[in-house]
Structure 1
Amino acid sequence: MTGRAAEPEVIWARPERAGRGPKPAYSRNDIAAAAVRIADADGIDAVSMRRVAGELGCGTMSLYNYVPRKEDLYELMVDAVSAEYDLSAPSGDWRADLLDVARQARALMHRHPWMPRLMSPVYGFSPNALRYLEHCMACLEPVDLPAGTKMELIASLTGVVTFYVANEIASAERTRSLPWSEEQEQGMRIAYLVSRISTGEYPHLAAAFAESTGPVDLEAAFERALGRALDGFVTD
């Protein structure tokens, strides 16, 4: 007779340590902090139950008493860094408040470059994630929109930040791996682009580049992206 599959259960619904026995030697906060240290230093792919157990000084199998699955470990990590938000009381200016949260999110993801890979609705209902969502909904209280649309707005804004930061991180990593300077790389690519545009095969691109006033201001582009995400739901 085959055994029954384990019942699905979120990590937050479980006691700090499964089963009976002595007082737990480690808290979830201890485990999350160890995993975050590893990911910050060596990337998310370096995070394993064995590596975290080694960081804590316990056996790998012992760690499973606290964290049954690796996905649970990831959820603990996302929740731990989500505690870094400064979620002060809303000012009443919903747009300014949400822009502040978005800028904090960008800074948080740069402090923890593995975060964009773990950004998922699956991990969206941990204690600190709920605190974040509650704050964003409070910021949107002055806006006359259905609650569901407000949740979509928050998700859209988070998506813009995550996508933007993921590209920034990937670009920085690629730059570090170049066998020559970033300026040389850009010069090479611009020269190739100009050679292709000059063929006359891309008139629309040629017109667009002709209007270019110089290098893109990435900070300004980020702010415009945030503003457009908000404008897609509410126009002042």
Structure 2
Amino acid sequence: MARQTAPKRRRRERGSIDPDDIVAGAFELADEVSIDNLSMPMLGKHLGVGVTSIYWYFRKKDDLLNAMTDRALREYLLAVPLPKSEDWRESLTQYAHTMRKAFLSNPILVDLILIRATLGPRYSELGAKHIEGLVARLVDAGLTFDDGFDTFSALQLHLHGSIVLTRLHEKSKASDPDARTYYEDLAISPESTPILAQAAAHGHTGGAPDDRNFEFGLRCILDHAERLIESRNAEATPRGAA
């Protein structure tokens, strides 16, 4: 179970805390007790201030979580520049790996951005421009507008889905160490399910959001995009051209 208390700081003087201090303290506390268990009274104790000092800036927990989400986007995700490679496939592969690593290394990002999924106006706009640049690369590479958008949408769904499944499994394990997912509970035996038994022997786990399955899914999406580009280029090449 997640811990419900955090070490107390020395109590601050009245008026000695500001919104940045509160948000920073909220990240510290959430790292110990999780976003779900974070509360304003608990945060006040963690920061060494009365809870009214927090409510002065953030009237409810959702307001605080919105501020945490904005900071998370600014410092962890939007701070990551778009891939510089001119090769569209390498660019999207780098993007997928960078984003997946950033999320999996900091579970609070997943809770705030992917699971809670509430963005402030400024970061909604920046996030849209981020996606715009990546879709533009696909269109520049030779995809139609529709195929370019659908390709990035599929990649983003694959990326975010694998990250969220990993995080939900971690949260289940934190509350119940014996918790198991559907792919861990399959009854596999050489007699009843020989194909699944052979797959397990070769290190496959069906449906698991692990590195192997993520890479295969990513490769399938990019391979399909590459075939679409090749087909479009072939249609554009005049007959008899070298």
| TM-score > 0.5, shorter chain as reference | yes
Task: Give the match for residue 198 of structure 1.
Answer: 191
Residue 52 of structure 1 aligns to a residue whose secondary structure is helix
Instruction: Write the letter of the residue equivalent to 2:133.
Output: A
Task: Give the match for residue 87 of structure 2.
Answer: 93
* Runs of 5+ unmatched residues, structure 1: 1-22, 200-204
User: What does residue range 67-86 of structure 1 map to in structure 2 within 5 Å?
Assistant: 67-82=58-73, 83-85=75-77, 86=80
Residue 45 of structure 1 aligns to a residue whose secondary structure is coil
Corresponding position: 1:103 with 2:97: yes
Mapped partners of 1:90, 1:124: distance in 2: 26
Mapped partners of 2:151, 2:54: distance in 1: 38
Aligned counterpart for 2:165 among listed residues 161, 164, 167: 167
CA contact (8 A) 1:43 1:114 kept: yes
Task: Give the match for residue 61 of structure 1.
Answer: 52
TM-score (norm 1): 0.62
Corresponding position: 1:43 with 2:41: no
Identity of aligned residues (%): 19
Mapped partners of 1:58, 1:155: distance in 2: 45
CA RMSD in angstroms, aligned pairs only: 3.9
The superposition leaves residues 160-201 of structure 1 with CA deviations (integer Å, 9 ceiling, x where unpaired) of 22321233345556399259xx9xxx7xx67x421xx635xx
CA contact (8 A) 1:106 1:165 kept: yes
Mapped partners of 2:203, 2:160: distance in 1: 23
The superposition leaves residues 9-43 of structure 1 with CA deviations (integer Å, 9 ceiling, x where unpaired) of xxxxxxxxxxxxxx98413x333222222222221
Number of matched pairs? 197
The superposition leaves residues 71-127 of structure 1 with CA deviations (integer Å, 9 ceiling, x where unpaired) of 222222222222213214643333333332322222222232243343158524454
CA contact (8 A) 1:102 1:161 kept: yes
Task: Give the match for residue 110 of structure 2.
Answer: 116
Mapped partners of 1:171, 1:120: distance in 2: 13
Task: Give the match for residue 6 of structure 2.
Answer: none
CA contact (8 A) 2:82 2:95 kept: no
After TM superposition, give the deviation of residue 50 of structure 1 in Å: 1.9
Mapped partners of 1:121, 1:137: distance in 2: 23
CA contact (8 A) 1:94 1:142 kept: yes
